[in-house]
Amino acid sequence: QVQLVDSGGGVVQPGRSLRLSCAASGFTFSNYDMQWVRQAPGKGPEWVATIWYDGSQKYYADSVKGRFTISRDNSKKILYLQMNSLRGEDTAVYYCARTRNFFDYWGQGTLVTVSS
């Protein structure tokens, strides 16, 4: 069955960096575009970044452009999100999601807290 396992979250000071990972199994990872979506406490989900199935195209929300980088390793079936220059407003649960335009499978999420 399709499984996505998010990891790498934690408490980090403003201005520091963190890298999130999403391990995929149960499907042909290299055939699917993938997303990162975040959800701040008490808020709705917010799209963060998209990467095409082959890594050739990447798209970012304006709120993270220039600070976050999405990447993938299709040989290891892992999706990454490198987050630099973190801010308080980046505090959220971060989910990876498989994409068929809509998001059909989601990871369990990993909490990122940006606080001094």
Q: Which is nearer to another protein, 17 or 108 (CB)?
A: 108
Site string for another protein, 38-67 (x = CB under 8 A): ------xxxx--x--------x-x------
Q: Is 8 in the site for another protein (CB under 8 A)?
A: no
Q: Is 108 in the site for another protein (CB under 8 A)?
A: yes
Q: Which is nearer to another protein, 56 or 101 (CB)?
A: 101
Q: For residue 58, how many C-alpha atoms fall within 13 Å in the half-sphere facing its CB?
A: 17
